[in-house]
Amino acid sequence: MVAQRMVDVNGIRLEIAEQGEGPLVVLLHGFPESWHSWHRQFGPLADAGFRVVAPNQRGYGRSHRPEAVDAYSVLHLVGDVVGLIQELGERQAYVVGHDWGAVIAWHTALLRPDLVLGVAGLSVPPPFRGAHPPLAVTRERFGGRFYWNYFERPGVADAEFDADIRTTLRKFLYSASATASPAGEIMQPLVPSGRGWLAAMEDPEVLPDWLTEEHLDALTESFAGGFTGPLNWYRNLDRNWELTAPWHNAVVTPPALYVYGDRDLVPAFPGAAELIAQLPDVMPNLVREPLELPACGHWTQQERPDEVNAALVDFLTTLAKTANATATATAGERTIG
């Protein structure tokens, strides 16, 4: 049974959902989502012997929503994960993320590999810092129409999305799913000039099979405080580029798993396909080839829960068994010594 509570972490309050006992697995949601995006993962992971915890990250749900834009930098967000692991009484954890949650999971493994027993990312591949600030790059390449640049304008996307939260979320979830692209076309994340982004999105008459009214209800309720906090994550993209300069050309070293859908808009970003193809060569502890899920859009763990659960359970249980065997062998050596 999933339980919810508030915890004090990194100087703020976070709302968390948790289930199970065993090694800690932290699940990090993306945009525009909440802890509830993992509702199909809690049972299988808990049944596999793990303590599963999914926070509403800062700016989301009932978690704290700092007013300052720069309070949503990647260092703050990684700090929240580090603080959460410690607040839960653990020294280390497995960290799994989707979309923006994957960005934070990868960066937690990059910046604090001592805390991460294994890391899995869904949709967004591992971070390799580019040569130039990302918002400047997309502004020049797409004439300011790329959604990151639309999001960076203070108050603009906030007002559009806040006007009808349920419709906003319904359009987002449908438009970025495989259901909206049955022939394999991938939605391009460009905002029409002089119009909001929602104007370009279809509003489905019937929800896809993987999205229920109950889930949409829960997600809508979690955005009652508006979209500004979540949008502030995007407004830090160039700041994050500056802050992570010391890790330029660094790679994620903990054991890693990457899963993505063949109809996801993120792997279709310019240069993403080439990066994914290179991952086995540049990721020292990638446990297998990147796992591409057929007929799967952006909402990986919701559109393909069975495949994602199987991949995560295999990844996590294999690592946990290895860790237990190592710990047993080390204890035996100490006893003999």
**Tokens at residue 35, please?**
């802890």
d(CA 296, CA 317): 25
| Confidence (pLDDT) at 323 | 83
| Confidence (pLDDT) at 186 | 79
Give per-residue pLDDT as tens, 218-270.
999 999 999 999 999 999 999 999 999 999 999 999 999 999 999 999 998 88
CATH class of 3-336: alpha beta
> Residue 71 in 3-state DSSP?
helix
Does the pLDDT at position 325 exceed 90? no
Q: Is-catalytic flag, 217?
A: no
The residues spanned by each domain of the chain are 3-336
Q: Is-catalytic flag, 99?
A: yes
Q: 192: how many CB neighbours lie within 10 A of its CB?
A: 11
Catalytic one among 36, 76, 215, 298?
A: 298
Q: How confident is the model at residue 305 (pLDDT cuts 50, 70, 90)?
A: very high
Give per-residue pLDDT as tens, 58-78.
999 999 999 999 999 999 999
d(CA 21, CA 88): 12
Q: Which of 294, 224, 264, 219 is nearest to 39 (CA)?
A: 219
Give per-residue pLDDT as tens, 85-108.
999 999 999 999 999 999 999 999
| Confidence (pLDDT) at 327 | 63
Does the pLDDT at position 184 exceed 90? no
- E-strand ranges in the chain read 3-9, 12-19, 24-28, 51-56, 93-98, 116-122, 256-261, 291-293
**Tokens at residue 86, please?**
């410690």
| Strand partners for 15 | 6, 56
Reported pTM: 0.96
Does the pLDDT at position 326 exceed 70? no
Q: How confident is the model at residue 329 (pLDDT cuts 50, 70, 90)?
A: low
| Confidence (pLDDT) at 235 | 98
d(CA 120, CA 106): 8
Does the pLDDT at position 290 exceed 90? yes
**Tokens at residue 276, please?**
């994914």
% helix, strand, coil for the chain, step of 5: 45, 15, 40
State the first-to-last Cα distance of the chain, in angstroms, to the nearest integer.
44
Catalytic one among 99, 158, 215, 264?
A: 99
Per the omega criterion (within 30 degrees of 0), is the bond before 134 cis? Answer: no
| Confidence (pLDDT) at 337 | 59
